[in-house]
Chains A and B, each alone.
Chain A
Amino acid sequence: MAKATFEVPVLSQYPDVPAVTPGTMAGSAPFLSKPEFQAPLGFPGELVENWQERAIEKMGELLTRYRSLRVYMDACVKCGACTDKCHYFLGTKDPKNMPVGRQDLMRKVYRRYFTLAGRLFPNLVGAQDLTREVLDEWYSYFHQCSQCRRCSVFCPYGIDTAEISMAAREIMDCIGVGQKYCNEIIAKVYRVGNNLGLPGPALVDTLEGLEEDVFDETGVRVRYPIDEVGAEILMVTPSADFFAEPHVDGLIGYGKVFHEAGVSWTFSSYASEAANFGMFIGSYENMHRLSQRIREEAIRLKVKRIVFGECGHAWRVGYSFLNTLAGPWDFLDPRYPVPQHICEFTHDLILQGRLKFDKTQNDDKVLTFHDSCNVARASRMGDTPGGQFEIPRAIIRATCNHFYDMDEETIRDRTFCCGGGGGLLTDDLIELRVKGAKPRMEALNNVMQEKGVTHMAAICAICKSQFTKVLPFYGMEMDQIVSLHQLVSNAIVLTPGADDGDEDDDDDGATDSALTPGDEDDDAAD
């Protein structure tokens, strides 16, 4: 399907660090956000008149708001530890995609306006005025960062480029230079309820269709409820799960797990989106507003627990920030952490021996697992550090007979980003996405050659959408990427309910295929 207007990198068996080739990605920039998407987020519609002054002022404000930014602007010694760690540098060779190169775009402005050395000796310390050229560079290169935090693992001071690119994007939004993909999506959540702009009735239809499909296939009536007041669990999941492939197969799996657990649960048509793009643009205000929707629905639906579906950055916001942004959660059942990840939920049931699996159902696949960056490096599952690595793998081992990890250097906290995270999952950045996927594609290709791996499981909607699109560029099949709960769904042995013998002729629900768009899953994802 893929016809590239750029050169797709050649995969090599051993990771090689390219020679720096300045400017290879200087021309890459996402579409600008239009005024109608800026306004609902509280940003000016277009570049304001006194933008330079406003930007410096905003930067000063952020320096007093975020200790991370304050310390990270000062602490870098240019040791070079991060220079070969970013997947975008490895894939594009552009030195401004080295974490330190990207950070310095902001650091040189910081030095000029906020440090003595930069005011007195700008050339000596590499300080520079915030000019239109610098702003354009910011726009290009801070939208070539997927905020995956791989650099922060290796930096001796823990400098996290994600924090810096978030701040840069917030500054740009505040002077009217927003990025279309992120801001349009946030505006859509405010207007309709989810990233995809799916209205409530469409969700209801989709879920009814899924119930019928599952019943036809298994003979067991698994429920996919929505807006049910009094359910025990509120399930919040990326909206791509409602219809895009392979995401929806994971959603089917969630329902089967809840069915076997015997708990009541529900989606919400209002909080029908787990993703929180407020994080990608660094906006605390928007992140807060998006998170409040989950709180409102938890109260309205009178639930006792909140569970998140397979979405990397949603889980980061859920795990790390939800308590701050939308807590306290003292009205929920204190026996469970808020929120829980669906993998934690499934894993607990496996440990209790309450799920039965027929592993042979997945025997057509040899699996590997892609650690999604926001899960791996910015969250946890379970009680012990590193649970986010072990729990998904334990679920795969429980549901599949054939599993092999990719090279140690490319998994767990050293995992490579899929290349589409951080608000970059848009067609205007396809060259960046393909090139940024190179390190992950190499590791995958190696286990395919050495171990006969056929499929890669992931627990992030952006990863799944990105790989679906990018795999064909590297000569692989788009359906090699699968949802983790798709494996659960395949292998789980369902317990029939009392009325499962009856045939239900209520056949008016739309099927999910009616909603599946053609080639536009990017805008749909997450």
Chain B
Amino acid sequence: MPFLTGLYAFLFYFAALVLVSGLTYKVVQYSRTPAPLRIPTTPAPTTSSGVVLRMTREVVLFESLFRANKWTWIFGWLFHFGLFLVTLRHLRYFLNPVPAVIEFIQPFGIYAGFAMVVGLVGLWARRFLVDRVRYISSPGDHLMLALLLLIAASGLLMSFLLHTDIVSVKTFFLGLYHFDLRPLPADPVLLLHIALVAVLMIIFPYSKLLHAPGLFFSPTRNQVDDSRERRLVAPWASRFERP
């Protein structure tokens, strides 16, 4: 299948390029944009280590969302934690030899796939059932959920019903590292699965998926509450300084 292999090889090179360069561009843009005034949402930590702790709780436990809405938190957390484990599990297709941690995580990764689906279905249901969330949902929001759900479903399908030749899959991806194109199995479910993943990688830097890097740059969360002790003057604001 040289055509398919070539097409998918190109797709993944392109997707990786867009993902990495797009995200790098955004992260550099965020970090270069000044935050001229202290605006942490208080009560806020008064030390940097306190901020690290606050951010860790936000990233790992979704603390603010927990306070906001329990249903959204349950489904959101199930989806993200599931995605995290599934991603770790998939590292076995990209690493050789496979690290022991990744070996260990394999069985959990399967259940995590189901957690992802449950989370996504719950999040999607809210977009129909809760009138406020229905009001704010745009076609893009539905498409994003559809994309993720299709990825999860096609993945689970391959795990349980329509197995594919995972050894060839791994050979294909490892080959990409050295521009050595190895044949990809022509299973429709596999081709759909990885094509959608490539699409996800491509739209990541241009979509609401930017919430992932954005969280780390949110001034209301990542600033230390020390404005009386430490003076801050942004470069563009320094022209207001007295001579």
* Chain A complexes with chain B: yes
**Of the candidates A20, A66, A116, A123, which one forms a contact with B36 in the assembled complex, judged by CB atoms under 8 Å apart?**
A66
Interface residues of A in 354-413 (CB under 8 A from B): 376-380, 383-386, 388-389, 413
A152-B215 in contact given A79-B65, A324-B232, A337-B228 (Cβ < 8 Å): no
Report the minimum CB–CB distance from A87 to chain B (whole Å).
15
Closest to B37 in A: A321
Q: Mark A332-370, 1 if CB is under 8 A from B, else 0.
A: 000001110000000000000000000000000000000
Q: Does A74 contact B (CB under 8 A)?
A: yes
The answer to whether B132 touches A70, judged by C-beta atoms less than 8 angstroms apart, is: no
Q: How many residues of A contact B (CB 8 A)?
A: 73
A80 pairs with B46, CB closer than 8 A: no
User: Closest approach, in angstroms, between the C-beta of B119 and any C-beta of chain A?
Assistant: 12
Checking B67, B225, B231 against A328 with a beta-carbon cut-off of 8 angstroms, the contacting residue is: B231
Query: How distant is the Cα of A95 from the Cα of B35 in the complex, in angstroms?
Result: 30
Q: Does B97 contact A (CB under 8 A)?
A: no
Q: Contact check, A123 vs B220: say whether CB atoms are below 8 A apart.
A: no
Q: Which of B41, B136, B229, B234 contacts A377 (CB 8 A)?
A: B41
Of all chain A residues, which has the CB nearest B76?
Answer: A79
Chain A residue numbers with a CB within 8 Å of B72 are 79-81
Could you say which residues of chain A place their CB within 8 Å of the CB of B132?
A: 17, 20, 80, 83-84, 95, 98
Decide: A284 and B36 in contact? CB cutoff 8 A.
yes
B92 at interface, CB cutoff 8 A: no
Binds B, one of A7-15, A157-165, A259-267, A436-444: A157-165
Is B45 a contact partner of A70 (Cβ separation < 8 A)? no
| B138-A153 in contact (CB<8A) | no
User: What residues on B are CB-neighbors of A157 within 8 Å?
Assistant: 211, 214-215, 218, 221
- Whether B228 contacts A323 by the Cβ 8 Å rule is yes
B238 CB, min distance to chain A CBs, angstroms = 11
Per the 8 Å Cβ criterion, residues 98-132 of A in contact with B are 98, 100-101, 104, 115-117, 123-126
* Complex contact A285–B240 (CB within 8 A): yes
B210 in contact with A324 (CB, 8 Å)? no
Known contacts A20-B135, A68-B39, A98-B136; is A117 also within 8 Å of B225 by CB? Answer: no
Give chain A residues whose Cβ lies under 8 Å from the Cβ of B35. Answer: 66-68
Q: How far is the CA of A288 from the CA of B238 in the complex (A)?
A: 11
Query: How far does the Cβ of B61 sit from chain A's closest Cβ, in whole Å?
Result: 10
Which residues of B are found within 8 Å of A159, using beta-carbon distances? 218, 220
Binds A, one of B5-13, B26-34, B168-176: B26-34
Q: Does A78 lie within 8 Å of B141, measured CB to CB? A: yes
| Contact A319–B211 (Cβ < 8 Å) | no
Q: Which of A12-26 contact B (CB under 8 A)?
A: 17, 19-20, 22
The answer to whether A124 and B139 have CB atoms under 8 Å apart is yes
Q: Which residues of B contact A497 (CB under 8 A)?
A: none
Q: How far is the CB of B228 from chain A (nearest CB, A)?
A: 5
A514 at interface, CB cutoff 8 A: no
Find out whether the CB atom of B41 lies under 8 angstroms from the CB atom of A75: no
Chain A residue contacts of B215, Cβ below 8 A: 75, 156-158
> Judging by beta carbons under 8 Å apart, are A75 and B211 in contact?
yes
Contact call A78/B42, Cβ cutoff below 8 A: no
Q: Cβ of A323 and Cβ of B214 under 8 Å apart? A: no
Neighbouring B residues of A67 by C-beta, 8 Å: 30, 33-35, 217, 219
- Smallest CB gap from A378: residue in B: B42
Are B42 and A385 in contact (CB-based, < 8 A)? Answer: yes
Contact A70-B30, Cβ < 8 Å, known A80-B132, A82-B68, A385-B225: yes
Least Cβ–Cβ distance between A349 and chain B, in angstroms: 20
Contacts of A19 on B, CB cut-off 8 Å?
A: 131
Q: In the bound complex, what is the Cα–Cα distance between A155 and B68 (angstroms)?
A: 7
Asked if residues A78 and B237 are in contact (CB atoms below 8 Å), the reply is no
A contact residues around B131 at 8 Å (CB): 19-20
Query: Does B49 sit within 8 A of A, measured CB to CB?
Result: no
Please tell me if the beta carbons of B58 and A156 are within 8 angstroms of each other in the complex.
yes
B208 within 8 A of A: yes
Indicate whether A324 sits within 8 Å of B38 (C-beta atoms), given known contacts A157-B215, A158-B218.
Answer: yes
- Mask, A162-179, CB within 8 Å of B = 1, is 010000000000000000
A65 at the interface (CB under 8 A from B): yes
- In the complex, the chain A residue whose C-beta lies closest to that of B31 is A67
Contact A324 B218 (CB under 8 A): no
**With an 8 A cutoff between CB atoms, is B137 at the interface?**
yes
Interface string of A413-425 (1 = CB under 8 A from B): 1000000000000
Q: Is the CB of A95 within 8 A of B135?
A: yes
B104 located at the interface, meaning its Cβ lies under 8 Å from any Cβ of chain A in the complex: no
Contact B65 A320 (CB under 8 A): no
Pair B42/A376 contact, Cβ less than 8 Å: yes
The verdict on A85 contacting chain B, using a C-beta distance below 8 Å, is yes
A516 within 8 A of B: no
Chain A residues with Cβ below 8 Å from B228 are: 319, 323, 337-339
Is residue B206 contacting chain A, with contact meaning CB distance below 8 A? yes
B43 interface neighbour in A76, A101, A158, A386, Cβ under 8 Å: A386
Asked if A71 and B139 make an inter-chain contact with CB atoms under 8 angstroms apart, the answer reads no
Instruction: Provide the bound-state CA to CA distance between A157 and B38, in Å.
Output: 17
Q: Does B4 contact A (CB under 8 A)?
A: no
**A126 nearest CB neighbor, chain B only:** B138
| Other A-B pairs beyond A71-B218, A320-B227, A327-B231, 14, CB < 8 Å | A63-B33, A64-B33, A66-B33, A71-B217, A79-B65, A116-B206, A153-B41, A157-B211, A158-B219, A323-B232, A376-B42, A383-B46, A385-B43, A385-B50
- What are 16 sample pairs from A and B whose C-beta atoms fall under 8 A apart? A67-B33, A70-B30, A74-B214, A76-B211, A77-B211, A81-B68, A82-B68, A85-B68, A125-B140, A154-B65, A163-B39, A324-B37, A324-B38, A337-B229, A376-B42, A385-B46
Residues of B within 8 A of A (CB): 26, 29-30, 33-39, 41-46, 50, 58, 62, 64-65, 67-69, 72, 76, 123, 126, 130-133, 135-141, 143, 203, 206-208, 210-211, 214-215, 217-221, 225, 227-234, 236-237, 240
4 tightest A-B contacts by CB? A75-B214, A154-B68, A158-B220, A385-B43
Binding site for B on A (CB under 8 A): 17, 19-20, 22, 63-68, 70-72, 74-85, 95, 98, 100-101, 104, 115-117, 123-126, 149, 152-160, 163, 284-285, 288, 319-321, 323-324, 327-328, 337-339, 376-380, 383-386, 388-389, 413
